[in-house]
Amino acid sequence: MKTFLKNFLRWTITITTGITLIVGLIVLKYDYIPANIVIRILAAGLVTALVTTVFFTYEPKKKVGKCFGFVFFLLHYLSMCIIMTIIGVSFGWFEATFSGILEITLSVGAVYIFTVVISAILLKGDADKMNEALKKLDDNDNTDTEA
Amino acid sequence: MKITIETPLPGEEDEIIIKMANLSDEVLKTVRRLKDGVGKDTMAVYADENIVMIPLKDIFYFDAVDNRVFAYTKDKCYETKKKLFELEELLEGSSFIRISKNAIVNIKAIDHLSPEFNGRFVARLKNGEDIIISRGYVPDLKKKLGIGR
């Protein structure tokens, strides 16, 4: 439960930041920004983060191939598009038309790329730190052997 | 020499009784091996029906499959009679760490780590094998490597 909540919080922060950037760009074309936009962005972030956390609870036992990874992320992306279509149309951010749906898929795509890039950078950073620590461990071992 | 193996009664502890007119060095060595099980630097494992003592530093990882636990060295596989949670307790404070529900790895056998699907990592071992480090166990690994909180 603790791990679930931690992951949920992490996804909420990342996705909400991405949504804020996209909505920020959308509202530039309007003369005023509604007062409830912050709550709405947070609500959208929380819902999508919850679905994302549940999605990524799935952990295959073996190493996964690129094909599986692609299908998994595609399903996740589609579910995000559906959720944001419902939320976006309800909040008046998009229209329920073909161009509105297109705008949603592109916006979700942009947020998706943003969150994937952030996650990849963070994970790579973790991997680099751990590899450095492993190398130090190896060097210490070799020094002990030589001694 | 007659060898008898009996199943203990329910609740009865496993016991080895050796009846010998004269205890030979060979038998004493075998007794010591059975008693020690997991020593400070060695571990008793099974290769077919034989008990073998292998240095812990040679074990790359333990893997549990179908209620059996196997110890993998660079190029060999042995069975151990211990459960994974027992090994985890016995090897606490050593270079071994639990990385998933089914595996314990020797961090000194890891060549490098790469991020994989869904926040978990793949550990490439020094013999070229890959094993998965589950997402939930990554914080413990970081702590073991001295980079976690």
Among A29-33, A86-90, A128-132, B86-90, top mean pLDDT goes to A128-132
Give residue-wise pLDDT tens across range B34-91: 665 555 688 888 888 788 889 999 999 999 999 999 999 999 999 998 899 989 988 8
CA pair distance A85, A88, nearest whole angstrom:
5
The answer to whether the CB atoms of A3 and B136 lie below 8 A apart is yes
Q: How confident is the model at residue A116 (pLDDT cuts 50, 70, 90)?
A: confident
Higher-scoring residue by pLDDT: B26, B76: B76
Of B110, B118, B119, the CB nearest to A134: B110
Per-residue pLDDT at B141: 94
Mean pLDDT of chain A: 85
Q: Is B26-144 assigned to CATH 2.40.50.1020?
A: yes
CA pair distance B122, A62, nearest whole angstrom:
10
What are the extents of the domains in chain B? 26-144
Instruction: Decide: helix, strand or coil at residue B2.
Output: coil
pLDDT greater than 60 at residue B149: no
Give residue-wise pLDDT tens across range A47-85: 999 999 998 888 777 777 778 888 888 999 999 999 988
The chain B residue lying nearest A66, using CA atoms, is B117
Contacts of B59 (CB under 8 A, 6+ apart): B43, B71, B72, B73, B96, B106, B109
Contacts of B93 (CB under 8 A, 6+ apart): none
Q: How confident is the model at residue A145 (pLDDT cuts 50, 70, 90)?
A: low
Within 8 A of B118 by CB-CB distance, chain A residues are 56, 58-59
CA pair distance B148, A126, nearest whole angstrom:
10
pTM of this prediction exceeds 0.80: no
In order, the DSSP letters of A90-126 are HTTSS-SSHHHHHHHHHHHHHHHHHHHHHHHHHHHHH
Q: What token pair was written down for A115?
A: 């969150």
Mean pLDDT of A72-99: 87
